[in-house]
Amino acid sequence: MAIERTLSIIKPDATEKNVIGKIIARFEEEGLRPIGIRMQHLSLSDAQGFYAVHSERPFFGELVEFMTRNPVVVMALEGENAVAKNREIMGATNPADAAEGTLRKLFASSIGENSVHGSDSAENAAIEIAYFFRSTELCPR
């Protein structure tokens, strides 16, 4: 299996619930190491730019409003099959469909407020990591 990187965001609903540590511990237990990590209160343009691919969707305004409501934690995670592994740990986008034990089943309340984001491909992971981190801010080991 390949060592990959993926971008994870602990979203405002999760930082509000004080579960940052539980979420990071879960990634570490499952072999995904944070190699870049920062808490950040996203500006409107940060959130609009990150989710630009969804700009025509009816939920875009709601999504941007939510993502700027309170701080998030942005992380570059590294490990074997990191993209797929992260998505497995997160569970389905809608927590109602998420498997038992996944982060969204445990912590999320709705499809909009779904606690965590994870890149959907290695290609997008590279783009998303570069959106938040300079290469000098990443510490692979």
Residues labelled as active-site residues: 117
Q: Contact between 70 and ligand CMP (CB under 6 A)?
A: no
Min separation Cβ 120 and ligand CMP, Å: 8
Placement of tokens 């939920």 in the chain: 59
Alpha carbons 73 and 130: distance in angstroms, whole number:
15
Q: At what angle do helices 122-132 and 82-90 cross, to 10 degrees?
A: 80
Give backbone dihedrals phi and psi of 100, rounded to 5 degrees, phi first. -55, 140
Give the residue from 34, 36, 41 showing the smallest Cα distance to 11: 41
Residue among 84, 111, 122, 138 that touches ligand CMP (CB under 6 A): 111
Nearer of residues 62 and 139 to ligand CMP, judged by Cβ: 62
Q: Contact between 112 and ligand CMP (CB under 6 A)?
A: yes
Catalog residues that contact ligand CMP under the rule CB under 6 A.
Answer: 54, 59, 62-63, 93, 111-112, 114, 117
